[in-house]
Amino acid sequence: MRKIVGIAIGFMLIFSSLSFAAGIEIGGVVLGGYRQGRPLVTGQDTPYSSMDDDGQLQKGVARSYTSLTTGQYSGTTNITVNAKTIAMENQCVQDNQTGLMWMKYTPDSDVGPDTDGKLYWVDSTNHEDIFTFCDQANAVSLAGHDDWRVPNVFELFSIIVEDAGIGAPFIDTTYFQCVSFYYWSSTTYPSGPSYALTVAFNNGNVGGYTKTTSKYFVRLVRG
């Protein structure tokens, strides 16, 4: 079952309410936090109105990423969920504005009930769910780290690029591999605890889906 949550569920607050402490500034880039009180740009750079819309003004802090591909971030790490194993790439992406580190790749084969990478939010029977996947990633120290987690909905939405001009998936594909579909967040639907929130990289929207019957992708984060 599905519940649609408009971007207005609080995404007008998504970054204005997330006021992380300022990090260390190197060459004008803040590492470890947003510039105080400044939301990120949406990524929309096409004007759709003559009335100073987002695409025309492009207000916000510029996005800044660093690809991590050498040393512990090279090669693959095997992650096993319910006797199904995927060789996950260790490459990661550092978000220089939020301080979050993301998996560059997401599981899109080999694991899950249909061996296509899609997992339940929770699965008390076979444990083919996003939290078991995360636990297994930590158990084998994916990319040399054992503190991976499933992002909350605000964090996951922060890597969406709201620009129709780039086409789906709506993410910076210079840095991220992404399936043009729904990704789970760790956030439960506010008015229905049997649902959890997803971010749709095929249309830039947010939705709510049943935790035990819906199967979607997951991108782990740390920080």
Domain ranges of the chain: 2-16+63-222
* pLDDT tier, 36 (very low <50, low <70, confident <90, very high otherwise): very low
Taking 60 as the threshold, does the pLDDT of residue 6 lie above it? Answer: no
What's residue 44's pLDDT?
Answer: 82
Tell me the C-alpha to C-alpha distance, in Å, between residue 142 and each of 74, 182, 192.
11, 23, 33
Taking 70 as the threshold, does the pLDDT of residue 86 lie above it? Answer: yes
What's residue 56's pLDDT?
Answer: 78
Residue of higher predicted confidence among 112 and 36: 112
Residue of higher predicted confidence among 55 and 34: 55
Q: How many CB atoms lie within 10 A of CB 166?
A: 16
Residue of higher predicted confidence among 54 and 121: 121
Q: How far apart are CA 189 and CA 186, in angstroms?
A: 10
Taking 60 as the threshold, does the pLDDT of residue 45 lie above it? Answer: yes
* pLDDT tier, 138 (very low <50, low <70, confident <90, very high otherwise): very high
What's residue 2's pLDDT?
Answer: 56
Taking 70 as the threshold, does the pLDDT of residue 19 lie above it? Answer: no
What's residue 22's pLDDT?
Answer: 32
Q: In three state form, how does the secondary structure of the chain look?
A: CEEEECHHHCCCCCCCCCCCCCCEEECCEEECCCCCCCCECCCCCCCCCCCCCHHHHCCCECCCEEEECCHHHCCEEEEEECCEEEEEECCEEEECCCCCEEECCCCCCCCCCCCCCCEECCCCCCCCEHHHHHHHHHHCCHHHCCCCECCCHHHHHCCCCCCHHHCCCCCCCCCCCCCCCEEEEEEECCCCCCEEEEEECCCCEEEEEECCCCEEECCCEEC
What's residue 48's pLDDT?
Answer: 79
What's residue 1's pLDDT?
Answer: 56
* pLDDT tier, 8 (very low <50, low <70, confident <90, very high otherwise): very low
User: What residues have CB less than 8 Å from 24, skipping those under 6 apart?
Assistant: 30, 31, 32
Output the pTM of the full model. Answer: 0.82
* pLDDT tier, 67 (very low <50, low <70, confident <90, very high otherwise): very high
* pLDDT tier, 31 (very low <50, low <70, confident <90, very high otherwise): very low
Taking 90 as the threshold, does the pLDDT of residue 117 lie above it? Answer: yes
Residues 1-16: what's their mean pLDDT? 44
Residue of higher predicted confidence among 119 and 165: 119
